[in-house]
Structure 1
Amino acid sequence: MTTLTSPRALSLTQQPVTRPQVTDLRTLLAEAGEDGLLRNHRRLLAVSHHTTAGFPDRVLRRRLGDDRARLDTYLEALAGLFPPEAGYHHDRLQLRDELSSEQKETEPLNADAHLSFIGGGFTNCAEFAAGPGGPLEERPLWFVDFDGVYRDRDNTEIRRTRRTTFVGYNGEERVASAELEVPVPRGRVALDLASDLVSTDPSGGPTIPAGALLQPILEAISTHGVTHGRIQLHLHPEERGAGLTVNEFEALLMTRDLVELFESPLRWAAARQAGNALLSALRALRISRERRERLRDRVLARPTPRILRLRRDLRLPLLPDGPPGAPARPVQGRYQSPILVQWDPAPAGVRRVRATLWRFR
């Protein structure tokens, strides 16, 4: 008989060998001798610390089933819609003032990977049922790395080290929630919910970091003694023309490439390739032949951001900040930011977001 234990977290690393690469993380856990994490807890939260590597979200996993061939077909379709080195602004390193000359020599040209992650239905963390006899004994735990291998300016192959944190737990309870009104400056397509400056005064006036809007939820972590858990941000059901993601808030990616993506989602794919890529993606998602051909023709006639699989929620995992029992803090990779994106203007310049704090048991 297996005894279920208290929440536990561990981190493992890997180095991919292909671009893109799909890994069943159950294998990574088994090789590290940590597959007991799946047996000793009813739930598992898997967390990527990266902006171009993560997990198919729940809807995408359900659409793909457990079929690796379908996932590969879907990734090939995304590569057709977002081909590598297709003239993206993010890849014009001479314009990236935040990079030193030395960094520009090794910086990957990976705008395609960012756009595939944002527009393809991928997330920085995913939840799974676990425990004795649970689905993960039979079903894969896919981790998709869009650009773990690349070549620098000297054509030297670089293999990146990817880190995943696993949190085993047995259940969760909601301990606090708040309805947020997030001001979105006029003309903005993307807003960093952690550090962008916004004004809560409709007529302008003093600005505050957008992250300050989350302060009641952050304070509730200590108030309620949360040591393991998550913060979930979810767009209000009536919000349209917007999405949420965790990614890199790089200026050219957010103010140029994302704008162009929303204006013309098929702009980087050749006309014939776009049609084939759309058909492949719809086939991988198990859309019937008659319907997918109809959808392809409609999209090619009038491509809109609706064809993208932009998410309406995001999750920020919480782990202890210090010795056992210490209050938790949000876990984010070096370049990860919670981001609100929109392709239609926000009514009255405000987006409504519900923030919820969950405690793991």
Structure 2
Amino acid sequence: MILIDRHTRAGRGPFHATLRIKPAARIQLTDVRGELLDEYGDEFTRYTRSFYISNHTTAGYLDQRLAELLEHDGRGIQGYLQLFRELFPPGAGYVHDKMHLRTELSEEQRANEPENADSHLTFIGAGLRNSASYELGGAEPVWFVELDGVHLGGTRHRRTSVIAYDREEDFERKVIDVRASPQAIDAQNLRDPELGFLGTLEEMVERHGVAFGRFDVTLADGEDDAGLTVNEYETLLMNYDLREALRNPFRFMKQTGKDVRDVLRDPRTIPAKAINFAQFDAVQVMNQVIDRIGLRDSVVERVVNRAVALPVSHFLRMKRGFSLPVLDRSGDGTGEIGWGTYQSPILVQWKGSGKHTRALEVRLVRFV
């Protein structure tokens, strides 16, 4: 089921619409661009650029470059996702899924909370984004990628927004220093008010009066052994499961007793600081996975072959940047950062920086 709400009138500023999606399966692709083309035609296609926004932490978008590498093909994208679902299978002993440890939840919430650490790690590892910019001139699809649509507790109700516009105006660029974690492997919640990051962004929006736009946030040059993502900052997921995935991406596959277990090294032999896994292990394991799910000689295999020769940060497609939407939700011309309820920008590092701070480059643009 897909319902579309149009928020702006034709010809008045950027096109802004929200789609409400009720998935029919746990893993599902929805062509959001196709739905808008069918519904609005020229009203939508008259704009040359579009910005796709997910409010969720287990459903989002591929960036345009990766979508192009996978030829915008739904079956190819499903195959690509399957590789990460093999790496992070359901029921692999994730600490996030041990509900008796989730003290932030009430007893009723624990009874209904889905066990979905695998979906969070697939989202992060496969490089899915909370928002993505596209410039397309034909009938190419833009896929909303659902990783946890149906679970034992019921069916999700998803929201995704699209802003279409003609051009961007740069308003401000600045470098924000945030306190570096003293731990070698760590994930920091940039939404934490004590870090001052969020307050700085909100002040920039207010000062420039941007109603529709985007923040681009990237690690500054020289900030190595770190990445950025937007996901749920749940303590057990960040402090245990994500750390284990960074130490050894094949750890959870092994715990489910997959037939690749003889190829994998024992995770206990990997020091906490040894983040780069053996290239031999990566190639052997991924070859077996590709054969098992029938992706040999496909575009997905070519994408993966590029990845396994790189360090874990690249193999897991850990990004050096993310984008955040600025939206006029009230219709009065006042913009605000478009957060989902559980979304947080997260700074992940797999080796200490050796400094007291890490530098983030921030760019604010307005859509026109």
* TM-score bracket relative to the smaller structure: 0.7 to 0.9
2:50 maps to amino acid: L
When the two chains are superposed, the root-mean-square deviation of aligned CA atoms in Å is 2.5
Counterpart selection for 2:84 from 65, 78, 81: 78
Q: Distance in 1 between matches of 2:61 and 2:159?
A: 13
Q: Does the 8 A contact of 1:53 with 1:146 survive in 2?
A: yes
Query: How many Å separate the matches in 1 of 2:103 and 2:55?
Result: 24
1:228-252: CA deviation from partner (whole Å, max 9, x where unpaired): 1011111113221111111000000
Deviations 1:305-345 (A, max 9, x none): 4421111111110012534322x110011100111111111
Alpha-carbon distance in structure 1 between the residues aligned to 2:110 and 2:197? 35
Q: Which amino acid aligns with 1:101?
A: E
Matches within 5 A, 1:87-166: 87-129=93-135, 134-135=137-138, 138-152=139-153, 158-166=154-162
* Pair 1:311 & 2:323 matched: no
Q: What is the alpha-carbon distance in structure 1 between the residues aligned to residue 296 and residue 56 of structure 2?
A: 24
Give 2:170's aligned residue. 174
Match of 2:208 among 215, 224, 232: 224
Amino acid aligned to 2:148: D
TM-score by length of structure 1 reads 0.83
Within the candidate set 272, 278, 289, 1:277 is matched to 289
Partner of 1:261: 245
Deviations 1:237-268 (A, max 9, x none): 32211111110000000000011111111111
Q: Once the 2 structures are TM-superposed, how far is the Cα of residue 58 of structure 1 from its aligned partner?
A: 2.7
Matching of residue 334 in structure 1 with residue 331 in structure 2: no
Shift of 1:36: 4.5
Return closer, same or farther for 1:344/1:335 CA change in 2, 3 Å cut-off.
same
251-260 vs 305-314, greater mean Cα deviation: 305-314
2:27 counterpart residue number = 20
The percent of aligned pairs where both chains have the same amino acid is 36
Which consecutive unaligned segments of at least 5 residues does structure 1 have? 153-157, 197-208
Quick one: which amino acid aligns to residue 98 of structure 2?
A: R
The CA deviation at 1:100 is 0.9
Report the more deviating stretch, 268-277 or 221-230.
268-277
SS of 1:272's partner is: coil
Gaps of 5+ in 2: 1-9, 262-284
Q: 1:357 to 1:116 in 2, by over 3 A?
A: same
Aligned to 1:204: none
Aligned AA for 2:260?
R
Cα displacement (A) at 1:195: 0.8
CA–CA distance in structure 2, aligned partners of residues 345 and 72 of structure 1: 35
Shift of 1:76: 1.3
How far does residue 281 in structure 1 lie from its aligned partner after superposition? 9.4
* 2:251 counterpart SS class: coil
Provide the secondary structure at the position in 1 that maps to 2:76.
Answer: helix
Contact 2:97/2:116 (8 A) holds in 1: yes
Number of equivalent positions: 327
CA offset at residue 126 of structure 1?
A: 1.1
- 4+ residue runs over 6 A deviation: none
**1:43 alignment partner AA:** R
Other-structure match for 1:185: 181
Whether 1:47 and 2:53 are equivalent positions in the alignment is yes
Residues 100 and 267 (structure 1 numbering): CA distance in 2 closer, same or farther, change over 3 Å?
same
Find the residue that maps to 2:133 and give its secondary structure.
strand
